[in-house]
Structure 1
Amino acid sequence: MTFKPAKILAGVSLAALMLTACATREVDFQGEGEGFVGPGAPVQAVLETPSVGTAGQDAADDPAVWASAAPVMVMGQATQGFVAGTDKKSGLYIYGFDGRILQFLPEGLLNNVDLIEGLNIDGRPQLVLGASDRTPGKTGISLYLFDPAGTGQNAVRPWGAIATDVIEPYGFCFARRGAEIHAVLVGHEGELRQFVLSVDAAGQPVSREVRRAEIGTISEGCAADEATNALYINEENVGLWRYGLDPASGAARTLVQPIAKDVLVADAEGLTTLTDGDKRYLIASSQGDSTFPVWRIDGAAPQYKGRFKIVDGVVDGVTGTDGLAAASGAVGPFPEGLVVIQDDVNDVGTQNFKYVDWRDIRRALGL
């Protein structure tokens, strides 16, 4: 997910795990093989992060992006915001907009991460980060805080958790409904849980479950669009669903895009939204052919606008991606928006995250 002040730009995203029962089997790179890249408008990434610390494994998973109008301090470093990225074997990275590691939190088996503004603690506005957590003994949603007004060694810090009955938390995204902050958890077996998050008098997190539904089979990526009351979820081997963001809508949904060659290929993984002027877009990760389909979503129904792929350039291209996130407007050195994408097969070292200038994607697709 992505967040800029006064805008929720979700994102969130996603990972391929082990094979499960036949009904929920995850199909990696369906019909082509690892590293296959399907047709799409070519775009180059402009920089990349270092490899995550867990070498030789499927580890880097999902990013989130936050941009600040004024510089903030992270571990003694001034930055205009940051990118959070999970290593699902060991914890959470915080990166600068130049790709450097600013902080690492050894928090365990975190899968998807997202962030949102809108909560005050002791009268101070806080940025809240949440991550689906598969660590034995603490499965649920792990929560973190960042104080934008903090100084010195100011850092992202653990805040608490949202407990859940989901055995393997998988996808996660924040959403806003009016004044409420909602946390949406997607389980590996297709469970959907939605919570309202608030703060008690002691400054501790309080959650209230407001929806539970069953998606059907293995699912992960989710992203919200408050303006159209929409919650988008990728059911990895079925397609892209649009639910109501209002929890009262229950399990009602519409299939936006079924799994289909050269559009959205299993595994369908990450999802993020991006606002560009008066237009809003949804970007998905078509992991099976390493491409990224885009829909315009500010109208009555989503409109498919084409696909792009990340090819070799200053840094290597992207193959087999899991998660992605986007932020619009001025994002550090990116004047009109940034898209961050996990790269499964990196040219040097293990998995990492690529930074892509939104202007390059917009130009490639003629948006």
Structure 2
Amino acid sequence: MQKHLTRAAALLCLLASTAAHCADRIALDGGGWLSLDKHALQLTDAAGKELARLPMRARQLDLRTTNGSGIAVVLDAATQHALPIRVDIKRGELTRLAPLPQQSFGVEGLCLFRDRQGLDFLFIAAKDGQAEQWLMHGATPQLVRKLSMPLDAGQCKVDDARHILYANEEGIGTWAYEANSEAIPARRLLKAGTRLPAGPVASPAVVVEPRAQTAPMARLGDVADDPAIWVHPRDATRSRVLGTNKKQGLMVYDLQGKQQQFLDVGRLNNVDLRQGVTMDGESMDLAVASQRDDNSVVLFGVDADGKMAELTRFATGFPEVYGICLFQPRSGGLDVIVNDKGGAFRQFRIAKGSGGWSSTLAREFKVDSQPEGCVADDRNERLFIGEEKRGVWTLAARADQPAARKMVLAVGRDLHADVEGMAIYEGAQGAYLIVSSQGDSSYVVLDAAAPYKVRGRFKVGFNLAEGIDGTSDTDGLDVTSKNLGGPYAQGMLVIQDGYKRMPDGPQNFKYVSWEDVARALNL
């Protein structure tokens, strides 16, 4: 007897049995069915009339459609290839597409996933636990990532709304995985009697596409962390992006993402910069970074062409230095704010005289748990700091003011721990604070002035035309409102990508047009 399965019913079938073939007949929107038996794939209308038939020996049917057309996939019994099929319900057509390339393993299970960007992906799994995720757009499917799934994962299904991949492990039960390739990899075991998620799904963040990406880091693992943007004083298209390499030093890229410079200065965590700082009667562009080998602040100079050079280092007195940011008071000078993992902050005044560079401790304050990201709003002399598990605080940025702080945005509905990178977009109509919500790989935009209204959330998805993946598990970010030309006429946002996909590779940074963000959030 054929099974008449909706998407929800297919998930329940998967949870109930590891042996049944849970999706050999799928109901179509508006009536009709796509059915798979031992001899053919069949498309029928609501009255049961056959519209199209493809002779085949296959199993494990899955389908995604929109407005009467879409993609189906089956596992070809003869070749063990995943076979995609174009389904056109309105025309009553089934068309074989090119099979996926030959796998290095025998395919046992497969299922489709449609993400929040509307892109279709295929999961394929082997008997020994090997698995891959493929992007099913364009003439040729693209490998997005490799992953591990249960042994003998003969069945899998995806809940698109909650981006959960379900896969059975015989004798153990059903595992629930994060299906989104850009999300933090995670899984949990659904024990007997586990109920499927119910109730409304949280409203999704809007999706914007990156316009460019930097060259990948030279090292694998958790390497890239925090960016900063330097704007060329005469030709903004020749601006530079600085990026910390937590294993080696400081990277410098152009606006096309090509590496222009590497400074081998040790394990840097965060970086920040200011331009046009007056020091000893001279206007200078300066950058600072937190150095975790000697727990110091490294001070860099930037010349008129964007070339970086180390100037000096300052001791912080911390046993484990972590985050860093700069503050340029309206009265002049430059302060560097640095923190450690214990929650302590120290604010130093940087100066230059006939005797060289100096740093003076001007203020200390503390939060209750681990911080990292911070950013100063120079125009309003406000400091924003992130306490990773609790939220975003604000306080006076001037060192001669009390360090009494106020919670701006707590971890909760819009912000998911860890709270990471922060930056301020200084627009003509006001300033926005952008915060990396690392727990769900999204970014929150809120007013940088009281009452700190949240303007929306966004994610960075795939740019298929340029072959660029999205961003996830972001540590640091930076933004500028300066006109950098081309797609960045309203400014640019640079975001660290924790998981490089399409294909898997070393971490890098993605470039996002602020115009795209503003349009998506109606700013």
Name the TM-score, length of structure 2 as normaliser. Answer: 0.59
Question: Counterpart of 1:361 in 2: which secondary structure?
Answer: helix
* SS in structure 2 at match of 1:312: coil
Which of 340, 351, 354 is the aligned partner of 1:198?
Answer: 351
CA distance in 1, matches of 2:380, 2:406: 14
Please say if residues 265 and 289 of structure 1, whose CA atoms lie closer than 8 Å, have aligned partners that are also in contact.
Answer: yes
Equivalent position of 2:222 in the other structure: 58
Of the three residues 338, 348, 351, the one matched with 2:492 is 338
In 2, the alpha carbon distance for the partners of 1:175 and 1:124 equals 18
1:65, 1:186 → 2: CA distance?
A: 21
Shift of 1:248: 3.0
More off after superposition, 118-127 vs 45-54: 118-127
Tell me the CA shift for residue 215 of structure 1. 1.3
Structure 2 vs 1, CA of residues 210 and 38 (structure 1 numbering), >3 Å: closer, same or farther?
farther
**2:519 alignment partner in structure 1:** 363
SS at match of 1:317: coil
1:162 positional shift = 1.9
Instruction: Give the total of aligned pairs.
Output: 321
Q: How does 1:1-367 map to 2 (within 5 A)?
A: 34-35=184-185, 39-55=204-220, 57-71=221-235, 80-120=238-278, 125-135=283-293, 138-148=294-304, 155-178=307-330, 179-202=332-355, 204-261=356-413, 263-297=414-448, 299-313=449-463, 314=466, 315-333=468-486, 334-347=488-501, 348=503, 349-367=505-523
Query: How big is the shift at 1:227?
Result: 2.8
Tell me, in whole angstroms, the C-alpha distance in 2 between the residues paired with 1:54 and 1:105.
Answer: 15
Q: CA deviation at 1:121?
A: 6.3
Inter-partner Cα distance in structure 2 for 1:365 and 1:93:
31
- Displacement, 1:293? 0.4
Deviations 1:308-335 (A, max 9, x none): 1001113101111110000112124311
Question: Cα 1:296–1:54, aligned 2, differ >3 Å: closer, same or farther?
Answer: same
Q: Mean Cα displacement is larger for which, 243-252 or 206-215? A: 243-252
Whether the 8 Å contact between 2:277 and 2:333 is mirrored in structure 1 is: no
Aligned Cα root-mean-square deviation (Å) = 2.1
| 2: CA distance, partners of 1:201 / 1:38 | 58
Provide closer, same or farther for how the CA distance between residues 116 and 65 of structure 1 changes in structure 2, counting only shifts above 3 A: same
Partners of 1:121 and 1:286 in 2: how far apart? 36
Distance 2:211 2:239 in 1: 18
Mapped partners of 2:253, 2:326: distance in 1? 20
Residue ranges of structure 1 left out of the alignment (5+ in a row): 1-30, 73-78
* 1:218-248: CA deviation from partner (whole Å, max 9, x where unpaired): 1000011123321000100011101111223
Higher relative contact order (CA 8 A, sep 6+): 1
Given residue 220 of structure 1, which amino acid in structure 2 is its aligned partner?
A: E
**Whole-angstrom distance in 1 between the partners of 2:300 and 2:371:** 24
Q: Deviation per CA, 1:236-281, whole angstroms, max 9, x where unpaired?
A: 00111011112233431001111103x1101110000011213110
Bigger shift: residues 99-108 or 323-332: 323-332
Contact 1:35 1:320 (C-alpha < 8 Å) held by counterparts: no
Between stretches 204-213 and 214-223, larger displacement belongs to 204-213
Distance 1:38 1:265, change over 3 A: farther
1:247 aligned counterpart, secondary structure: coil
Supply the distance in 2 between the matched residues of 1:246 and 1:157 (Cα, whole angstroms). Answer: 28
Q: Moved runs in structure 1, 4+ residues, more than 4 A?
A: 35-38, 120-124
CA contact (8 A) 1:35 1:319 kept: no
What fraction of aligned residue pairs are identical, expressed as a percent? Answer: 35
Residue 120 of structure 1 and its aligned partner are, at CA, apart by 5.0
8 Å CA contact 1:97–1:332 kept in 2: the answer is no
Alpha-carbon distance in structure 2 between the residues aligned to 1:211 and 1:170: 17
1:69 is paired with a residue of what secondary structure? coil
TM score, norm. by length of structure 1? 0.83
Cα separation, 2, equivalents of 1:66 and 1:119: 13
Cα offsets for 1:271-320 (capped at 9, x unmatched): 000112131100000001000001112x4431111101001113101111
The Cα shift of 1:96 comes to 0.3
Distance in 2 separating the partners of 1:121 and 1:225: 20
Q: Equivalents in 1 of 2:280, 2:259: separation in Å?
A: 29
Q: CA deviation at 1:188?
A: 1.7
Query: Residue deviations 1:194-214, cap 9 Å, x none?
Result: 111111114x32111111111
